[in-house]
Amino acid sequence: MKFTSTRSRQALSASEVLVRGIASDGGLFVPECFPVLDEDFVKKLIPMSYRDRAAAVLPLYLDDFTADEIRHGVDGAYSGTFDNDDPAPLKEVEKNMHLLELWHGPTCAFKDMALQLLPYLLTAAAKRCAPGWTLVILTATSGDTGKAALAGFADVPGVKIAVFYPRDGVSAMQKLQMTTQTGDNVTVCGIEGNFDDAQNGVKAIFTDPEMRKYLADRKLQFSSANSINFGRLVPQVVYYISAWCDLLKTGKLKAGETFNVTVPTGNFGNILAAWYAKQMGVPIGKFICASNRNNVLSDFIATGIYDRNREFYTTDSPSMDILISSNLERLLYHLSGNEPEEVANLMRSLKETGRYQVKPELLAKLRQDFWGASCDDRETAAAIGELFREKGYLMDTHTAVAVHVYKKYLRETGDDRPCVIASTASPFKFAPAVLPAVADGVVPEDGFAVTQMLSDVSKCAIPGPLASLKGREVLHRQSIAKEDMPEFIRNFL
Ligand SMILES: *Cc1c(COP(=O)(O)O)cnc(C)c1O
């Protein structure tokens, strides 16, 4: 398997792609073709555990990793680290509406599915491509990636990690999770700006020739824990294949039948992983892309015009408060028929004018697969309240955006095939927004009091990793202007 950049022709191995994180031309790495799951392979997957399914699927992309490296990574990532034996259980909450709970990991959001595994993969890859070098993981976060990356990489030998988060754009629980992080190789810093500023800052550091030389002189190699790193995508492809196997195993789906997927979307990584699964043969019908009030993606699917020149809103689903969805670049590459020049032009236009328009043929292809709509905070709360009252199921704000948009899709199209909805975070991570949706009365000031009340009302236990934050010492208090990010990194190194 060879990988290329979305913006120019290259041919790199999986290990090289993971270690580099982003191409030097600013593009993202994509596979040159998609591996196909044949019938026998799927038959074998169905009775397997999640871990065994992962160990079977990952080498289809990561073909220069040894079987031992894959096995060691999968076992380390998914045994004893999740609060559930199956790290990605599928629950049919209403007829044909299956919630894929991806938040049973140590930081209570779906980012753990990939970021518990990525450190194993990256260190194995670095041994192969950059022996003796130290990896420097730069991470921009809208709230959940930061903590998941810290949890994965803290105290991993041969690695340093820096996380930038929007100072005023994450939930109190998310902030506390990050600022209390221990580890000799970690640093965490707030940015005066939003996630897009943090992500642009990180991309600029990555591609700055002076910075690259500074690092090379010191045997340091930048890499990324963001979903721009292909190593984030592959583990996410696994859980869509695994969800399909579960539907077949439980008879909710018969061989040959199709199902839909709904994903609460920000940086477009999670939904892209589902689309990759379809290219490999998973019979997915529609991809329902759910946005919050920052609805740049649902507008794009409707018009073919991507336009970030609009107001940025801080919402109750902060992990999706994004106006530049990086992974869309990968989809554009594949839909353009692998035309790096076309993608490079669109991305240049995005950089220079904040917008681009795709060709009608590309838009037609996009709309065959994708359907999009958005959901504001009021609708989010209503969706949480309704599902809790009717089914006793408590969901977080991001998942609620997806459920709301899925129901809108059902009403407008009547397409009631089974649907897998990505449930991306524990409701306890966003308790101040979730509690008022399910209970009347005043929401306490103190974050832990809110979490406790939510637990009392829902009769669900507070996840251990969140409960244990109480009383932890805050270790990272820095906050800087976005222009100062390169300087901050030099000091850290
Ligand atoms: C990151 C995140 C999302 C958005 O996922 P993308 O892959 O960036 O589209 C949705 N919900 C939660 C809880 C997240 O942490």
Please name which of 413, 464, 170, 472 lies closest in space to residue 286, comparing C-alpha atoms: 413
- 315-349 pLDDT, tens digit per residue, is 999 999 999 999 999 999 999 999 999 999 999 99
pTM of this structure: 0.96
- The residues with which 223 forms a beta bridge, in sequence order, are 137
Q: What is the mean pLDDT of residues 366-372?
A: 98
Please tell me the residue having the least CA distance from ligand 1 atom 14: 319
Please name which of 474, 488, 432, 293 lies closest in space to residue 375, comparing C-alpha atoms: 293
C-beta neighbour count of 167 within 10 angstroms:
17
- Ligand 1 atom nearest residue 266's Cα: 9
Q: Select which of 2, 44, 111, 249 is catalytic.
A: 111
- 422-431 pLDDT, tens digit per residue, is 999 999 999 9
**Residue 197 · residue 482 · CB < 8 Å:** yes
Between the CA of 271 and the centroid of ligand 1 the distance, in Å, is: 9
List the structure tokens of 52.
Answer: 């065994």
What lines the ligand 1 site, CB under 6 Å?
109, 111, 144, 227, 264-270, 319-320, 398, 424-425
- Please tell me the distance from the alpha carbon of residue 417 to that of residue 285, in angstroms, as a whole number: 9
**Residue 400 · residue 316 · CB < 8 Å:** no
Q: What is the mean pLDDT of residues 226-241?
A: 97
Q: Is the pLDDT at 441 greater than 90, yes or no?
A: no
- Please tell me the distance from the alpha carbon of residue 164 to that of residue 356, in angstroms, as a whole number: 27
Output the pLDDT for position 206: 85
Output b/e per residue, 169-202; b: 16+ Cβ within 10 A: bbbebbbbbbbbbebebbbbbbbebbbbbbbbbb
Q: Is the pLDDT at 207 greater than 90, yes or no?
A: no
Answer yes or no: 111 catalytic. yes
Q: What is the mean pLDDT of residues 453-464?
A: 96
For all residues of the chain together, what is the average pLDDT? 96
**What value, to the nearest 5°, has the Cα angle with vertex 329 and ends 314 and 136?**
75
Full set of structural domains in the chain with CATH: 89-110+231-429 (3.40.50.1100)
Please tell me the residue having the least CA distance from ligand 1 atom 1: 319
Q: What is the mean pLDDT of residues 145-155?
A: 95
**Residue 253 · residue 247 · CB < 8 Å:** yes
- Please tell me the distance from the alpha carbon of residue 120 to that of residue 184, in angstroms, as a whole number: 18
Q: What is the mean pLDDT of residues 395-421?
A: 98
**Residue 274 · residue 432 · CB < 8 Å:** no
Crossing angle for the helix pair 431-438 and 377-391, nearest 10 degrees? 60
